[in-house]
Amino acid sequence: MAMFVVLMGALTWIQVFQAGDLNADPRNQRATYREQGRERGPIVVAGEPIVTSVPVDTPYSYLRTYADGPLYAPVTGYSSIVFGQSGVERAAGTVLNGTAPSLWRQRLGDLVTGRQPQGGSVELTLDPAVQQAAWDALEGREGAVVALDPATGAVLALVSSPSFDPNVLAGHDGGPVQTAWQELLDDPGDPLVNRAIAGDTYAPGSTFKLIDLAAALSTGDYDAETRVPAPDTLALPGSGATISNPSGERCDDGETATLALSLAKSCNTPFSQLAITLGEQAIRDQAEAFGWDAELQIPMTVTPGRLGEIADEAELGQAAIGQRDVRATPMQVAMIAAGIANDGEVMAPHVIATERAADLTVVEETEPRTLSEAVTPEVADTMTEMMVGVVENGTGWRAAIDGVRVAGKTGTSQTGINEGTSRDFPHAWFTGFAPADDPQVAVAVVLVNGADPASQQYSGGQLAAPIARAVMQAALR
């Protein structure tokens, strides 16, 4: 009898509390068969399943299917018998396969009643209208869009283009799945790269001036009307390098300009000089206050933004306008706008709203979490008004929405590539939020190598701002 009790206890402990770890062990070959042999739970957006498991007549019993696969793939990822999982399929894998610790009651019930194990469901924070608007506005161009709820950090849209169809990796016949995988790897558009949060990072260009501005205003020595040096050309200290304003334009009188005008016209020389005056540590501290260099998971891992090594004032002047070794994901840039929109409080972005057991009981619900206090509410208010000026009187006018005050900042960043191909073209950026007086959505857009210098469509204001407008309109519908 004692032996029976010990064995039952051990079995219960393993099935209820250690199942997740055992299934996650890559050495466990039985896990793959078990994953596909049970009804893996759905991934849900706005009450509608976008990923489900359907019964099939194969040894694996269930086939994973993806509705609007390319649209949601940067979030859902894929589940494959050959290549494992990615995205939410991987990050929330133990919930979806029913082995998460939070589902212990369900597993215990399955064990007692002998029911076939089922996975739990995962509900995402995405707004399908916002996601679709971002996808449509990109029009298949290489780029990414991230939209956040500034007050909670909930991800409303996360789009990467080109994308891929996870259905081609979900099949149970290994040959076609291997072929599809190789075709994705060989695709010059790199559809498996998630441009919104991971993999590639991009020079943020003039969107980084928001960091300079926040650092300056936070000292208390500057306000929107403070006049700062704004020469046509700035000689960088200790080097033969110079910085000019975009398209060689003059910033006000060519000697000084207000911070508000400098931001609205996206002048380079005032912000380079400002960063040199404030010093590297002030700029680095301010960037980190907005989440740069931080380990971040939504729950998928976000590649941290970085400033890189800054050896001297000349490099600092270049970093101040989002060039040199400064790199960021669209998520990181969206977090700047969201933090300003939320009175300086940066919320941790998250893409999972709730996790449920198979009987739809909520077992986990994401609570909004403060990531940092990047600036004071007073500084955030000043920055908001200055960003409204960018849209109403400056480079971001194409993001304007009738009847809505929109705050924004444009960016056009050099890639540092010089190979005589389209990869040399600058990246086009826009970040902002709306309505400025009661922010409901913050957005960041990047078009990778999207700004063709030989065309009339050259800047972030021309190319990325209209995309941001479409996304914000969808969120405010």
What gap in Å lies between CA 198 and CA 196, rounded to an integer? 6
For the chain, percent helix, then strand, then coil, each to nearest 5?
Answer: 40, 20, 40
Q: Which residues pair with 161 in a beta bridge?
A: 143
For helices 465-475 and 128-138, the axis angle rounded to 10 degrees is 160
For residue 374, how many other CB atoms are within 10 A of its CB? 26
Do 268 and 229 meet the contact criterion of CB atoms below 8 Å apart? no
Q: Structure tokens of 240?
A: 């033969």
Q: Are strands 43-45 and 121-124 parallel, antiparallel or unpaired?
A: parallel
How many whole angstroms separate alpha carbon 83 and alpha carbon 211? 40
Task: Indicate the residue type of 228.
Answer: V
Residue of 332, 349, 444, 336 whose CA lies nearest to 380: 336
How far apart CA 277 and CA 264 sit, in angstroms, is 21
Strands (E), 226-374: 227-229, 233-235, 242-244, 256-258, 296-297, 301-302, 345-347, 352-356, 362-365, 370-373
Q: Which residues are bridge partners to 370 per DSSP? A: 347
C-alpha span between 42 and 38 (Å, rounded): 12
Q: Where are the beta strands (DSSP E) in 18-109?
A: 43-45, 48-55, 62-66, 79-80, 84-85
According to DSSP, the residues that pair with 210 across neighbouring strands are none
Catalytically annotated residues: 206
